[in-house]
Every structure is written in C-alpha cells, then in structure tokens.
Structure 1
Amino acid sequence: MLAIISPLASVAQAAASASTSGPTSAPGQHAGIAWHQGDVDSAFAEAKAASKPVFLYWGAVWCPPCNQVKATIFNRQSFIERSRAFVPVYLDGDSPDGQKLGARFKVRGYPTMILFRPDGTEITRLPGEVDADRYMHVLKLSMNATRPVRELLQAALSGSSRLGAQDWRLLADYSWDTDEQQLVQKKELAATLQRLAAACPAGENARRLTLKAIVAAAMDSQEKDGKETREGVKNEASRQAELRKVNQILADAKAARANMDLLANYATQVVEYLTAPGSAQRRQLADAWGKDMQRLAADAGLSRADRLTALVAQVQLARIDDKKGPVDPALLNAVRRQVAEMDKATTDAYERQAVISAAADAYTEAGLLDESDALLKAELKRSHSPYYFMLGLAANAKKRGDKAAALDWYDQAYKAAKGPATRLQWGVAYLNGLLDLAPNDESRIEATAGTLFTELAATPNAFYERNRASLEKLGKKLAKWNGGNGHGASLQRMTAQLAGICDKLPGNDGQKAACDGIMQTTQARS
C-alpha cells in the first residue's frame, strides 16, 4: 500500500548541488528510457504492433513518492533494460489532458503504475512503495503472467486450487491503494484481503496479505472517526488473533524487513486499531514495533527515504498516547543525527525530493519545529518546486498556533505553484486554510475563491479526476462554513461565479454534471 504521508512528509525537493541538474519533466529521461509523454494512443498502437506490454506511469513533478520511484527504480540498469520489453508511457497530472486521461485509466494517487497487455487489458497495478528489488521481481512476474490480477482475484475468492506461488505473490503485492475500486469496492477491501489471506498457503504471501488486511481495517476504522467503536468494528477474539499475527511478524526480522513498507507507513494506525489507549498491550506492541523501526532506520540496504520513514514511525510510536509529550533525549539525538547524515549524503535531485520531505517530517514528529522550518527554508532556495515545501511550513505554523504565518505560507505556496492541476490543488489548500483559520475573513475568502474560479474557467478539462475530487471537498467545506446561513451573501456570489463556469460547459460533456454537482453541494447547508 502507498505511504500515508502527512502534509509535511509530502514536501518536495529537486536540485541538490550546483553540479546536479534539476529534474526533467519525464521520469528517467536521463537514463535513456523511451517514454511516450502523454501520447497514450500511439503507445498502445506501437505495443500492439510489436506485441509488447504497455507500462503506464502517472505522476507529478513535485510528488515526493514519485521522485523516490525515479531515484530508486527508474534509474536502475535492470529497469532500463527491462523497459525495452515494454512500451513506457508517462502521464503528468499537469499536462493539458492529464486529468482527463487520469479519469480514462482510473488513476488518481501519485504515483500509480499499471502494466497492460498490448490489447489494453490491465494486468496489474505495481507497488511503488516497496524496495527496488521487490519491485523488479513483481514487474518480472507481471510481465510473464498468464492471467491478469482481476482473474487471479476471482479464482482465489472462488476457492480455485489452480493458483501457484507466483499468482499469490501478484495478489499480495498488488497496489491495492491505487486500485481506485477497479477490483474491489473500498468498503469491501479489508474483508476481501482477509479472505485472500485465509485462502493463501502459509508463508510470505499469506503474511503480507494478512498484514494488508489489518492495515485496511485500521484505515477504515480511522476514517469512521469515532462513529464506530473499536469493539463494534470486530469482536475481541478476532482482534486478539490479529494482534498475535502482527506480533509474529514483528518478532521475525526477515518478515519485518519484507513488509517494511506496511510496518513503517501504518505503524500508529494499526497499533491504535488493535489496542486500547493506555493499555499494557498497547505499550508492549508499540515498544516491539519501535525496536523494528529502529533496526530498519539503520538498515543500509534500504533507501534513505525509507530509513527516514522508519525513523518517523519510531518517533510516532514513542508518543502514541501522548502526542504532545516529551521525546526521549536519546531519540531526539538520533533524529538530529540521521537527518543531518541523510541531508549531507543525498545529492541526487530526485532522491532529495523524497529524502528532505521525510527528514522534515521526522523533525516535526519529534517536536523539533524550528529545525524542521530551517531544513525546509534552506530547500526553498534550490528547489524546482518550492511551493511544496511551503505547505510544510504552513503545517508547522498551524501546529504552533500561528494562524497568520500559516495563511501566509499557504498564500505563497498558491502563488508559486505551477501547472493547472497543481495550482487548483494548492489554491484549494489555501482556501481550506482560510476557512479553518480565518472563517470570518469573508473578503479574503471570497477573493481567493474568485481567483481560483477564474483560473478554473480558463483550464481545459478542469473537472476530471484529482481536480474534481478537490473541488467536491471544497464544496462541502464551503457549505459547512455557511452553516446557519452565516455567510449567505458571500457564498451566493461565489456560487454564482461557479455557476457561470458550469453554464458554459456543453450539456453532453461529463464535466458539466460534475460542475453542477459541486455548485449544488456548496448550497447544501445554506
């Protein structure tokens, strides 16, 4: 599953030193991979003529996990050589048709990587969060697969005995986080993964499916935000069984290493799901998990970004029941030492983008906000996308309670953002910040919305995929802001501007329904 990245951990960086050129728009372009940039139809035509699979990569220039993939996978000689056996396509979310193509292929989260047959049949969605060796093994299996994952899933759930170890490996390493409900509805994911884990022969694949099922259940419980109690989610006997399985993985160094992506990225969510606050069980589980994270943070075989992610988890686990409490001085020293080492050692432009974001998050999680700020501000001077670091600075200011500084950073980030989809996302972030931190500043809120909607009107294909999702959330937030009609006149003017955009869209254009829906949502609680 993809990393769940906090606003600060998602901070991006590009250029490293004067001798290192900044990233190009296409991933791995420097490595000689013949990417088709956005030209999907010609790529499939070429693939069909040559009987080659199509490898589709969906990402963005500023995205730290995307740059991690570029730094650890796309630059590997083994990947470059294998790329000659498929037709590689790069879809940038900020390209003119990026979001429309994203809707066509049902991709939203950055990065998403899909392997297709020459005829367009989707084989699998590849796990960009795993280490490079595991990724290359899954890629090789996927290219040699006789059945797509969709068919393997159906066979596994029907009780078929025809699945071999490699089939189960494809199911265990499928990128369920970027599935976008192509194979399984979100509300059914945890139960489906539980069924797969139960059906899978004992071993590495079963352990990974079990852990993914627990992670999915934990995330589902977290999203319910208290609407469903721990006891209501699952009976205690089942929970204790899951707890035993997690402890078994943690106690096995090899198994923990094989599942480091899940253990590092979802540590606190799973611990909070499986144990009660303040309980001895919680402390025991958090301590055992923390020791594994300490070991992974020191594992030189992992990428620097992955090691820092493990360090972040270690800090979070140490404060799991007291998130504002003091951090052990030895752990603070470890954070400072490792961040300094990674900062100094990382010179690749793509890698820095992921490393600096994780490093800043480590500082923030440890309560070292001033040091996090200093790291981020230093990167503003040399980053190709400083607007992303500015969101991290806004998050730090918000954490301090400095509303004015937070809003100033949101404002700067929006003004500096590049690319139509990115500008929309950053504009919504600024507007959300205003609604949260300065809800009575109607003039500023209305002016920001006016700027955002003016840009929206001039953007082709503006109501697809990530854009649409951002606007839908904004519509709900505006409606909530106007609860009791406290800002009715202001919201009415904003809604009228949005309605003018909707009215200009052709009636047979799917975007019109999306636009109208957003407009209606803003009025839901007026």
Structure 2
Amino acid sequence: MSFRFRLNHGAAAALLAMSLAHPAIAASSATGPSVAWQAAAGDADIERAFAQARGEKKPVLLYWGAKWCPPCNQLKATLFNRQDFIERSRAFVAVNIDGDLPGAQKLGTRFKVRGYPTMILFNADGAELTRLPGEADAAQVMQVLQVGLAGGRPVKSVLADARAGKPLAANEWRLLAFYSWETDEQQLVPPAELPGMLTQLAVANASGEAATTTRLWLKALAASNEAKGLKPDAAVRDRVMAVLADPASARVQMDVLVNNAPAIVQTLVAAGADKKALLVAFDTALQKLQADTGLSRADRITALGARVDLARLDLPKDAAQVQAQMPAALLTSLREHAARDDREITDGYERQAVITSDAYVLGQAGLWAESDALLKASLGKSHSPYYLMSQLGSNAKKQGRKDEALKWYEEAFNKSEGPATRLQWGSNYLTALVDLAPAEAARIEKAAAQLLTEAGQDKAAFYERSARSLQRVGAKLNSWNQDGKHAAALKRLQAQLDGVCAKLDSKDAQRATCEGVLKPSGKKT
C-alpha cells in the first residue's frame, strides 16, 4: 500500500515569522487536564454540540480521525496533549468523530470530509470558518482558533472577496495561504481550477506580506501537474530558488516544500528551469530541515523522504534496483535516521506516526530488508499492528513476493478493528487477491462474501469511506470477471448484496449506493 504522509508541523515557524498572535508554545505534559472531546457518532450528537456552542457563544472544532491513522497519531503526540492547546480548548466546543463509530461515515458525508485527519472550525451557527489538514501544527491551529474566537469570517466569504479584487486584511490573506486546499473536497474550488485560483491570489497579494505571497506561489506550483495548470515565469523560479537558498525562509515554507518537492520541481523544469541546479538547491535545503532538531521527528523524516523522492525522479517507479542507483550518502543518512527513531521513540502515538514513515521511506530508497525488519520489530509495539502488516504486504508485493504479500494482507484484514477500517482493509486484501492470485476463485469469492456480510451489519456501510471501499471491491470484482469466467460467482455475490440493500430504507441515500456496488461501470440501473 503506497502512502505519503503529510505530517508537517514546521509551519509553526512560518506563523511565528509572520508575527501572528498566538499563545506561547508550551511543553506537552503527560499528566494534568486534557481536552474535553465530545464523541460524535450521529446527527443528534452534532446538534447537541452546536446547541452548546450557541449557548456558550463558542466556536466548534471538529476533529475527524481514526485509531490507526499515522497523521492522527502525530496530532495526538504533538498537539492535543500540549498545555497551551488544552487551555485554549476551553474557549471552543471540541468534537471528535472517530471514523469507526456507528454513524461516523454518514457524518463524514454531511461535513464532506474524507482524509484522516481533518479538522474543521465552525462558528456557533454552524458556518465553516476554515479547515485544516493533518499537517496543521500547534501554532497554525492556535492562530485559526484565534481568528474564530475573534469573529473571523468564513474562508468562503474571504475567498470570494479576494477573487473579486476587494481589499483583505493581512490575517485574511494568511487564512487563504494556510487553508487546506488538499482536503477542500471541492468546497471552495474544483481541483482543475485550483492552480489558476492560487496563482490569481498570489498575484493579487503581490504587494502584501512576502511570506504569504510565496506560500501561495508554492501551493500553485505544487497543484500544477508539471506546468499543465501554471506556467511559472522567471520571477517565480527566482522566488523559489531564493527560498531554498535561505534556511530561515525554507523553514517558514517547510510544510509545502517537503510535501510537494517533486511536484514543484517538475512544474518548474517543465517551464524551463535548470533541473540540475534546482535539484541541488532543493536537496541542500532539505538536508538542513532534516537536521533541524527543533522540528518534530515526523517533519524530519518527511524532509528526508522528499530527498529520496527527488533522487528517484528519473528512475522508473517500479525500478527493481533503486538501491543501487541511490546516492550512498543518502542511504547512510536514511539508515541512521530510521535506527535513531526506532531507538529513541517511546510514545505510542509518535511511533505509529513516525516509524511507519521511516519504513515507507526505506522502501522508497530500495532498502527493503531494513524496511521489513523495522516493521516486524514494531508490530508488538503498535496499538494498530494491522497498519504495519499492510505495509509489509505492500513491500512484498513490490518485490514480486506474491504469497508473502497475500499472507500479510490477509493477516492485516483479520486483525483490523472497527467497521469502516475492516471494510477498508478487506478491500485492500481482495484487491491484492485479484491482482496476485486471480485463479483462486474460491478464496476471492469468500473474501468478497465476508465483506458484504460485514457491510450488512454496519448501518453506515454505504456512506463516505466505507462506501468507497465497497465500490473498489465491486470495481475489482468486475475487472476480475471481464471475460465472463466468474459470472456464477458474481451472480451469487449480487444475490447476497441484494439482500443487504433490501434492508435499507428506499429514501436513504445509501440504498442507491448499495445497489450500484456490483454494477459494471457505465451500466444503467
């Protein structure tokens, strides 16, 4: 399973450099008070939280996550346990939606949240002020809360005024620059329009705060898909090179740079930038971030991972001999970094976040043995070992070890917990079965039947992430039966699914989703 974490907490420096008003960052405390999260698993829970918010004249912070999710665990390890965050939480109503609670996926549909983790700030009347991605750091969250507590406007209104050419306050430009466009889910703009819109904002703020304008340009470059959206001119290329050459500026923009290094490089090169000079400048800046002990371990491994991604740019994605083509110094640095993380990290939340990232980057660099060893040694230390088992399955699959891959994917599914998680892990297992062992018809049908049985036991199985997991199952089964050889199995599964769908209220949006799960793509219903 390929994954790329956005675990960046370096944006704190950006906000500090911009002199934003926020409480002093306090050290986390293992004891003492904690955030009074209210668990929400249905509309009634949400309405109760907003009623409280209106009565107390407070905003609402909604956090959507899952037990296994590495970036979620990073938030728990570095943000939610901080004394300053805990103290500020008294000024808002804190709502936690665990994706595996009954009804949680229906709430995901209501709030249009997909990726774990997502944090959304609402005013007391339910208007969305802004949304934050998983890389949100303490200072960023504190600033957004500050805006909310001060009666800040919804980002939708701010964006409309910016696009209409109306003047904005400096904090409103920052709100746009730090908004989680990656998890916008088309709330404000369709993905195809994002590069142009960000470019428009960067141009409009040309005379404003330099760091804010630079962040908008960097995000536009990252979203441009090799210059198909934005064609940067020499001035933009010079701006990027200046950021990379200045450690303080690179730290300010750290989260955008480390998460989007390949995309930014490819967009600039497609528009005429000197690739060699750009790669050297990027690697130099990333090395400094990797070595910055003032950053979280998650930030530092992400910076190192970006270096590996850049080193792989000209290699085939499935290059079997990646390790042999990697710079020796980079491999040494990666081995030492992963060993140090494994040795030093004792917090369970942080281990789930960082060690999984270390293992992924080791694999990206072709260090498969080291990646496997790290994951296997960490199984007993993880509160969600099935996540690590999936990584082991992915490692084995990429190396062509089919039987081993299926063993790990099956074990990950068997050990997974929670209805939404089990459907997701089951979808992964079935996909691996069809890809690696298509002739094992009985095994494939058994896995699919089990997933449909579990879907029938989950009242929210055809909403949001769970629905997408089941839709992936349906699409994979239809591709497996493309030649019609497995029509009998599909017929039996369809009959089972019909029984599940029949129990859903015809007025429930889930009914139509359920009925379409096994329909071949494009088939009318």
- Which runs of structure 2 are paired with 1:29-178 in the superposition (5 Å)? 31-38=33-40, 39-161=45-167, 163-178=168-183
Q: How big is each residue's C-alpha offset from its partner over 1:113-140, in whole Å with a ceiling of 9 and x where there is no partner?
A: 0111111111111243143333323332
If asked which structure has higher relative contact order (CA below 8 Å, sep 6+), I would say 1
Q: Please tell me the residue identity of whatever aligns with 2:360.
A: D
TM-aligned CA deviation for residue 205 of structure 1? 1.0
Aligned to 1:21: none
Aligned to 1:263: 257
Aligned to 2:310: 317
Count matched residues.
490
Decide whether the 8 Å contact of 1:54 with 1:115 is kept in 2: yes
Q: How big is each residue's C-alpha offset from its partner over 1:473-495, in whole Å with a ceiling of 9 and x where there is no partner?
A: 33223323322334323223222
Q: Please tell me the residue identity of whatever aligns with 1:112.
A: T
Aligned to 1:305: 298
TM-aligned CA deviation for residue 73 of structure 1? 1.1
C-alpha separation in 2, matches of 1:211 and 1:354 = 26
C-alpha separation in 1, matches of 2:344 and 2:232 = 45
TM-aligned CA deviation for residue 311 of structure 1? 0.7
Decide whether the 8 Å contact of 1:472 with 1:521 is kept in 2: no
Aligned to 1:205: 212
C-alpha separation in 2, matches of 1:148 and 1:302 = 31
Decide whether the 8 Å contact of 2:232 with 2:268 is kept in 1: no
C-alpha separation in 1, matches of 2:126 and 2:155 = 14
Q: Please tell me the residue identity of whatever aligns with 2:100.
A: D
Decide whether the 8 Å contact of 1:268 with 1:313 is kept in 2: yes
TM-aligned CA deviation for residue 395 of structure 1? 0.9
- Which runs of structure 2 are paired with 1:463-478 in the superposition (5 Å)? 463-478=462-477
C-alpha separation in 2, matches of 1:76 and 1:241 = 41
SS of 1:84's equivalent in the other structure is helix
Q: How big is each residue's C-alpha offset from its partner over 1:316-369, in whole Å with a ceiling of 9 and x where there is no partner?
A: 212321252522222211111111222222122211111111111221122111
Decide whether the 8 Å contact of 2:198 with 2:220 is kept in 1: yes
Decide whether the 8 Å contact of 1:126 with 1:139 is kept in 2: no
- Which runs of structure 2 are paired with 1:303-382 in the superposition (5 Å)? 303-322=296-315, 324=322, 325-382=324-381
Given candidates 183, 198, 201, the residue that maps to 1:196 is 201
C-alpha separation in 2, matches of 1:472 and 1:190 = 30
Decide whether the 8 Å contact of 2:132 with 2:179 is kept in 1: yes
C-alpha separation in 2, matches of 1:239 and 1:499 = 56
Decide whether the 8 Å contact of 2:215 with 2:253 is kept in 1: yes
Q: Which deviates the most, 133-142 or 414-423?
A: 133-142
C-alpha separation in 1, matches of 2:497 and 2:343 = 48
SS of 1:32's equivalent in the other structure is coil
Tell me, yes or no, if structure 1 residue 214 matches structure 2 residue 210: no
C-alpha separation in 2, matches of 1:397 and 1:35 = 39
Question: Tell me, which stretches of 5 or more residues in structure 1 are unaligned?
Answer: 12-27, 222-229
Q: Please tell me the residue identity of whatever aligns with 1:477.
A: K
C-alpha separation in 2, matches of 1:372 and 1:10 = 20
TM-aligned CA deviation for residue 276 of structure 1? 5.5
Q: Please tell me the residue identity of whatever aligns with 2:2.
A: S
Decide whether the 8 Å contact of 2:359 with 2:371 is kept in 1: yes
Aligned to 2:278: 285
Tell me: CA distance 1:248–1:142, structure 2 relative to 1, closer, same or farther (3 Å).
farther
Tell me: CA distance 1:78–1:402, structure 2 relative to 1, closer, same or farther (3 Å).
same
C-alpha separation in 2, matches of 1:419 and 1:351 = 21
TM-aligned CA deviation for residue 234 of structure 1? 5.4
Q: Please tell me the residue identity of whatever aligns with 1:206.
A: T
Tell me, yes or no, if structure 1 residue 295 matches structure 2 residue 295: no
C-alpha separation in 1, matches of 2:190 and 2:62 = 23
C-alpha separation in 2, matches of 1:153 and 1:98 = 30
Question: Tell me, which stretches of 5 or more residues in structure 2 are unaligned?
Answer: 8-29, 317-321
Decide whether the 8 Å contact of 1:390 with 1:409 is kept in 2: yes
SS of 1:266's equivalent in the other structure is helix
Identity %: 50
Q: TM-score, normalised by structure 2?
A: 0.88
Tell me: CA distance 1:75–1:311, structure 2 relative to 1, closer, same or farther (3 Å).
same
Aligned to 1:6: 2
Tell me: CA distance 1:420–1:522, structure 2 relative to 1, closer, same or farther (3 Å).
farther
CA RMSD of aligned residues (A): 2.4
TM-aligned CA deviation for residue 9 of structure 1? 6.1
Q: How big is each residue's C-alpha offset from its partner over 1:213-247, in whole Å with a ceiling of 9 and x where there is no partner?
A: 111222xx6xxxxxxxx6xx258x64666544432
Tell me, yes or no, if structure 1 residue 484 matches structure 2 residue 483: yes
Q: Which deviates the most, 74-83 or 32-41?
A: 32-41
Decide whether the 8 Å contact of 2:237 with 2:273 is kept in 1: no
Q: TM-score, normalised by structure 1?
A: 0.88
